[in-house]
Amino acid sequence: MSRQPEGPPPPPVVQRLRVHYTKRGRLRFISHRDFARAFERALHRSGVPIAFSAGFSPHPKVSYAGAAPTGAASEAEYLEIGLAERSDPESVREALDAALPAGLDVVRVVAAEPDGPALADRIEASTWRIRLPGVAPETGEAALASFLALDELKVERATKQGPREVDARAAIVAGWPGDPRSEADSLPCATLEVVVRHLTPAVRPDDVVTALRRAAGLSTPAAPVATRLAQGLLDAAPPQAAMQLVDPLG
Amino acid sequence: MTGVSVFDRLEPLLPSVRKPVQYVGGELHAVTKDWDGAAVRWALMYPDAYEVGLPNQGVQILYELLNERDDVLAERTYSVWPDLEALMREHGIPQFTVDGHRPVGDFDLFGISFSTELGYTNLLTALDLAGIPVAASERTDEHPVVIAGGHAAFNPEPIADFIDAAVLGDGEQAVLAITDLVRAWKAEGSPDGRDGLLLRLATSGVVYVPAFYDVTYLPDGRIQRVAPNRPGVPWRVAKQTVMDLDEWPYPKQPLVPLAETVHERYSVEIFRGCTRGCRFCQAGMITRPVRERSITTIGEMVQRGVAATGFEEVGLLSLSSADHSEIASVAKGLADVYEGTNVSLSLPSTRVDAFNVTLANELSRNGRRTGLTFAPEGGSERMRKVINKMVTEDDLIRTVATAYGNGWRQVKLYFMCGLPTETDEDVTAIAGVASRVIETGRQASGRRDIRCTVSIGGFVPKPHTPFQWAAQLDHETVDRRLAALKAAVVKDKNFGKAIGLRYHDGRPSIIEGMLSRGDRRVGAAIRRAWEDGARFDGWSEHFSFERWVAACGAAFADSPVSLDWYTTRERELSEVLPWDHLDSGLDKDWLWGDWQDAIGETEVEDCRWSPCYDCGVCPSMGTETQVGPTGRALLPLSPV
């Protein structure tokens, strides 16, 4: 007979909260695993009454929705937590924001409707801003137009299972030029915004840049910087420039 | 202008390197202070990768207590992996701190903590990337003073060419004393430049400045004499000892990294020093006497540390944690406080003793019981007498029976190979011990799925130990003995499959041996190996024995010394050892007597519970053993 933890089972989840947070500045270099560890420690320090799974290695009830890749910044990351005591969402927001390092900022916390759709079902696409330092705005714009004119563009990406091909064009819902001065302290440069549908395998900002290089012979003298601006459902209206996604927190 | 961040230039390179998060800083409790407002500025380095260096207690303690001073600034730097090193060289980015991303070359002091001699080549990389001349003699007033600390600094002679100074022993008071000397010297307008500062540091007795000592050699290669070459510089430099650990309850605000590191826990040092007298153990010899942290301070540190970090594991650190005079109350008290929470407790020290199992049961009261670790170190009774590891095979069997009987599924045993006087039989005896452990465990637990993992390390003779005179065993013999042990385990039909055997080849230990007991002439080999590409020598995927052999061949050509001369040669009592002018407090005659006792298989009792055996530390250092029990309680405490 294996040993079992003594005492009563952990208290059940009585409330689910959805959290909108960011990954800004130098913290864009943290991986999803790094974030999860930092978030769980911040939960621990914050005193938020998180619920735990049962067993010898109890895990806090946190579910993450599609994290941005390592190196990509994000203004729109989402996760859901299960609490063992009902709490005021705004107090939880303040407590988590105070416990997380600057750059991992908690923007908004809302209670999930008990019978509403799952968080993952409220997210089907991302809007990415891709800055191409050292590339002139017109050059970037032309490369985007050439790419969007194609029906298909397969790019190869190294994965742990070896090289894998994805169709970068198939995932693009819309694309338009962004503000070349979107970062105040940097030199103006080509800045593109694209809405990317979440497919399997996922098309990431890196793949879009590879596609731009392939479609228009674009050369990028410095490392591109990607920032996720929004996630959510695609609007029912037909794709258009500067389209908005439906906020998953409603 | 100095102290300007290089992050803008570094950031574009980070997407193309492995694990960029290790270079960005921003950890919880990291400190960035105003550069211009600081009178004294320290860059502190642990010369290994971030994942190993960040959790280092020594660096965290000094970082915190220096930054607590208003006019002192301390930032951290770690070794960069070769992928980033190449990019930094290509783009002209200097070695930087992870806090302010400031160039290391801009600081007043550059302190490096060496836990292992295999970090020496990483020091050279950091100096070179920082734009600090690798040779100390080529540095000018523009460059930081480079100070080594940590256990390896008890014989800094192999790196004497590359460092300006070394601190022996506990760093807490020493870094503050150095800071005061530097502050005063700068306030006076830096009289006599770098040389003037080094002379002040050397004459204060707080640090050892190798350049102020001349070493002369005999024709056969041995050292003739080490003598100071400046008036006022002491003949011998003594180690530093912090006498009241309760006055130094650091780290209070431990760093919580974003990146994954090798230790993800809040660690409290429950005592410093050890007088068990294991003859192979440099740490136990150079950190005497035993100084306990009181049960109340331990309780407060754990409570505050867990609340401040959110870590879910607490480690009670020391060289032999079960020896704390109030460990049973500490364990029970902490288990009570954290019962029903997700905080787990660990006691990562490893004496073979049923009491250790009781403690581990207490600490894992409501947790999983996976593995327990014990360190008999020697496979045969005879071997254990030689190394003064006073444990019989029956003790070990009783201990593991208790462990398996209490639900522990796996026992790990640590041994060494290559110990002085060791024979083939002493090593193959390990197989018999492991078989008895499995047999006992199956009886005690009534299960067949229990495991025993045997880990074997190569023995390296270290300075300031009774084995400092011993011949290191050649790596061919070490490898042959380990292969014979493996064959004996595999041949065991009944128990072999339940025994896991872990060991590495013996060659890195030979290089570690040369770096441990070497003198100043070894510096040429280090420099040569580094120029030939040696980096991260503690990592098997980066270490090249051939590169080191070639470097030694070139550096020692036309000289009486060689890699073998430094390692596999036994020394006589009359030989001047490279570290004889560095005073760990141990009486050389006592060490020699203990070496003779080792050969005679005579054991010596711990001085905490038997009369003083005159190792020499307390009278020469003005220190004394500080142990409880205090009789006080861990409480009042409340869980967080």
The pLDDT tens digits for B38-81 are 999 999 999 999 999 999 999 999 999 999 999 999 999 999 99
Q: Are residues B66 and B173 in the same domain?
A: yes
| Candidates A6, A27, A71; nearest CB to B26 | A27
Percent of chain A with pLDDT strictly greater than 70: 96
Put simply, the answer to whether A6 touches B366 (Cβ < 8 Å) is yes
CA distance B406 to chain A (A): 10
Q: Are residues B347 and B495 in the same domain?
A: yes
Say if pTM beats, i.e. exceeds, 0.90.
yes
Q: Which residues sit opposite B214 in a β-bridge?
A: B227
The per-residue pLDDT for B366 is 67
Q: Are residues B538 and B603 in the same domain?
A: no
Count of CB atoms within 10 A of residue B365's CB? 16
Whether residue A201 is preceded by a cis peptide bond, meaning omega within 30 degrees of 0, is: yes
- The residue segments making up the domain with residue B347 are 265-521+559-621
Please tell me the distance from the alpha carbon of residue A148 to that of residue B159, in angstroms, as a whole number: 60
Q: Are residues B377 and B413 in the same domain?
A: yes
Please tell me the distance from the alpha carbon of residue B125 to that of residue B79, in angstroms, as a whole number: 8
Please tell me the distance from the alpha carbon of residue A121 to that of residue A18, in angstroms, as a whole number: 13
The per-residue pLDDT for B462 is 98
Domains of chain A: 15-121 (3.30.70.580), 123-246 (3.30.70)
Handedness of CA B342, B343, B349, B353 (dihedral sign): negative
ipTM field = 0.89
Alpha carbon B384 to its chain's center = 23
Domain boundary, last residue among B219, B252, B282: B219
Give pLDDT tens digits for B627-639: 999 888 886 645 4
- The average pLDDT across B340-356 equals 81
Put simply, the answer to whether A34 touches B259 (Cβ < 8 Å) is yes
In a domain, B86, yes or no: yes
CA distance A42 to chain B (A): 6
Closest CA to B445 of B454, B455, B437: B437
Q: Are residues B319 and B452 in the same domain?
A: yes
Put simply, the answer to whether A29 touches B311 (Cβ < 8 Å) is no
CA distance B260 to chain A (A): 7
Residues shown for chain A? 250
Return the residue in B255, B258, B341 with the most chain A beta carbons within 10 A, the one to mutate for interface testing: B258
| Largest pairwise CA distance in chain B | 76
The per-residue pLDDT for B256 is 94
Chain B's closest residue to A223, CA to CA, is B12
Chain A's closest residue to B308, CA to CA, is A45
| Largest pairwise CA distance in chain A | 71
Please tell me the distance from the alpha carbon of residue B640 to that of residue B635, in angstroms, as a whole number: 14
The per-residue pLDDT for A1 is 42
The per-residue pLDDT for A235 is 82
The per-residue pLDDT for B64 is 98
- The average pLDDT across A27-43 equals 94
In a domain, B483, yes or no: yes
Q: Are residues B513 and B529 in the same domain?
A: no
Percent of chain B with pLDDT strictly greater than 90: 90
Chain B's closest residue to A28, CA to CA, is B21
Give pLDDT tens digits for B266-321: 999 999 999 999 999 999 999 999 999 999 999 999 999 999 999 989 999 999 99
Q: State the count of interchain CB pairs (< 8 A) between A and B.
A: 76
Here the contacts of A1-7 (C-beta below 8 Å, separation 24 or greater) are A3/B369, A3/B407, A5/A54, A5/A55, A5/A56, A5/B366, A6/B366, A7/B340, A7/B366
Residues from chain B contacting residue A3 (CB–CB below 8 Å): 369, 407
| Candidates B7, B15, B369; nearest CB to A223 | B15
Closest CA to B585 of B551, B615, B624, B542: B615
CA distance B407 to chain A (A): 8
Q: Are residues B42 and B54 in the same domain?
A: yes
Residues from chain A contacting residue B26 (CB–CB below 8 Å): 26-27, 101-103
The SS3 of residue B238 is strand
Put simply, the answer to whether A71 touches B15 (Cβ < 8 Å) is yes
Handedness of CA A168, A169, A173, A177 (dihedral sign): positive
Chain B's closest residue to A9, CA to CA, is B340
In a domain, B245, yes or no: no
Q: Name the token pair of A82.
A: 């299960």
Cβ pair B331, B359 in contact under 8 A: yes
Q: Say whether residue B11 is in contact with chain A using an 8 A CB cutoff.
A: yes
| Candidates B14, B25, B310; nearest CB to A41 | B310
| Candidates B21, B260, B309; nearest CB to A29 | B21
The per-residue pLDDT for A181 is 86
Cβ pair B393, B436 in contact under 8 A: yes
Alpha carbon B229 to its chain's center = 31
In a domain, B365, yes or no: yes
| Continuous H helices in B492-625 | 507-517, 522-531, 545-555, 563-567, 588-599, 617-621
Chain A's closest residue to B15, CA to CA, is A71
Residues from chain B contacting residue A58 (CB–CB below 8 Å): 342
Give pLDDT tens digits for B228-254: 999 999 999 999 999 999 999 999 999
- The one-letter code for the residue type at B73 is L
Q: Are residues B610 and B541 in the same domain?
A: no
Give pLDDT tens digits for B439-473: 999 999 999 999 999 999 999 999 999 999 999 99
Give pLDDT tens digits for B362-398: 888 867 777 889 999 999 999 999 999 989 999 999 9
Cβ pair A82, A51 in contact under 8 A: yes
Q: Name the token pair of A7.
A: 């005492």
| Candidates A34, A57, A222; nearest CB to B12 | A222
Put simply, the answer to whether A58 touches B340 (Cβ < 8 Å) is no
Residues from chain B contacting residue A44 (CB–CB below 8 Å): 310, 312, 342
CA distance A84 to chain B (A): 14
List, as ranges, residues 392-421 from B with C-beta within 8 Å of A: 407
Burial of A134 (0-12, 13-18, 19+ CB in 10 A): middle
Q: Name the token pair of B580.
A: 């004889």
Put simply, the answer to whether B11 touches A26 (Cβ < 8 Å) is yes
In a domain, B226, yes or no: no
Please tell me the distance from the alpha carbon of residue A166 to that of residue A172, in angstroms, as a whole number: 12
Please tell me the distance from the alpha carbon of residue B73 to that of residue B402, in angstroms, as a whole number: 51
Count of CB atoms within 10 A of residue A102's CB? 11
Q: Say whether residue B340 is in contact with chain A using an 8 A CB cutoff.
A: yes
Please tell me the distance from the alpha carbon of residue B351 to that of residue B386, in angstroms, as a whole number: 17
Please tell me the distance from the alpha carbon of residue B29 to that of residue B309, in angstroms, as a whole number: 9
Q: How would you label B236-248 residue by residue, b for 16+ Cβ within 10 Å and e otherwise?
A: ebbbbbbeebeeb
Please tell me the distance from the alpha carbon of residue B559 to that of residue B515, in angstroms, as a whole number: 18
In a domain, B380, yes or no: yes
Give pLDDT tens digits for B153-171: 999 999 999 999 999 999 9
Please tell me the distance from the alpha carbon of residue B272 to that of residue B256, in angstroms, as a whole number: 24
Q: Which residues contact B338 (CB under 8 A, 6 or more apart)?
A: B314, B344, B345, B639
CA angle A74, A79, A84 (to 5 degrees): 150
Q: Are residues B582 and B553 in the same domain?
A: no
Please tell me the distance from the alpha carbon of residue A35 to that of residue A74, in angstroms, as a whole number: 13
Return the residue in B21, B31, B99, B447 with the most chain A beta carbons within 10 A, the one to mutate for interface testing: B21
Please tell me the distance from the alpha carbon of residue B85 to that of residue B80, in angstroms, as a whole number: 6
The average confidence (pLDDT) of chain A is: 91
Is residue A184 pLDDT above 70, yes or no?
no
Output the CA torsion A184→A186→A189→A193 (10° steps): -50
Chain A's closest residue to B369, CA to CA, is A3
Return the residue in B342, B368, B640 with the most chain A beta carbons within 10 A, the one to mutate for interface testing: B342
Alpha carbon B303 to its chain's center = 26
Residues shown for chain B? 640
Helices (H) and strands (E) in chain B — how many of each?
21, 18
What's the Rg (C-alpha) of chain A? 20
Residues from chain A contacting residue B29 (CB–CB below 8 Å): none
Count of CB atoms within 10 A of residue B181's CB? 18
In CATH, what number is assigned to the domain containing residue B150? 3.40.50.280
Q: How would you label B445-471 residue by residue, b for 16+ Cβ within 10 Å and e otherwise?
A: beeeebbbbbbbbbbbbbbbbbbbbbb
Q: How confident is the model at residue B640 (pLDDT cuts 50, 70, 90)?
A: very low
Residues from chain A contacting residue B407 (CB–CB below 8 Å): 3
Residues from chain A contacting residue B28 (CB–CB below 8 Å): 41, 101
In CATH, what number is assigned to the domain containing residue B356? 3.80.30.20
Q: Are residues B27 and B169 in the same domain?
A: yes
Q: Say whether residue B254 is in contact with chain A using an 8 A CB cutoff.
A: no
The per-residue pLDDT for B633 is 87
With helix as H, strand as E and coil as C, how does A57-118 read? CCCECEEEECCCCCCCEEEEEEEEEEECCCCCHHHHHHHHHHHCCCCCCEEEEEECCCCCCC
Task: Write down the residue that tokens 């400031």 correspond to.
Answer: B102
- The average pLDDT across B544-573 equals 98
Closest CA to B402 of B444, B346, B450: B444
Helices (H) and strands (E) in chain A — how many of each?
4, 11
Q: Are residues B430 and B540 in the same domain?
A: no
Which strand (E) or helix (H) includes residue A245? strand A245-246
- The average pLDDT across B162-189 equals 98
Backbone region of residue B274 per phi and psi (left: phi > 0; alpha: psi in -120 to 50; beta: other values): beta
Put simply, the answer to whether B311 touches A41 (Cβ < 8 Å) is yes
Cβ pair B54, B135 in contact under 8 A: no
Task: Write down the residue that tokens 């067949």 correspond to.
Answer: B448
Domain boundary, last residue among B219, B237, B256: B219
Is residue A7 pLDDT above 80, yes or no?
no
CA distance B119 to chain A (A): 27
Q: How confident is the model at residue A38 (pLDDT cuts 50, 70, 90)?
A: very high
Task: Write down the residue that tokens 């191409």 correspond to.
Answer: A132
Q: Are residues B142 and B168 in the same domain?
A: yes
Alpha carbon A230 to its chain's center = 8
Closest CA to B254 of A25, A94, A104, A41: A41
Residues from chain B contacting residue A222 (CB–CB below 8 Å): 12
Domain count, chain B: 3
In a domain, B249, yes or no: no
Put simply, the answer to whether A45 touches B312 (Cβ < 8 Å) is no
Domain boundary, last residue among B558, B586, B603: B558
In a domain, B225, yes or no: no
Chain B's closest residue to A47, CA to CA, is B640
Put simply, the answer to whether A40 touches B310 (Cβ < 8 Å) is yes
Cβ pair A118, A216 in contact under 8 A: no
The average confidence (pLDDT) of chain B is: 95
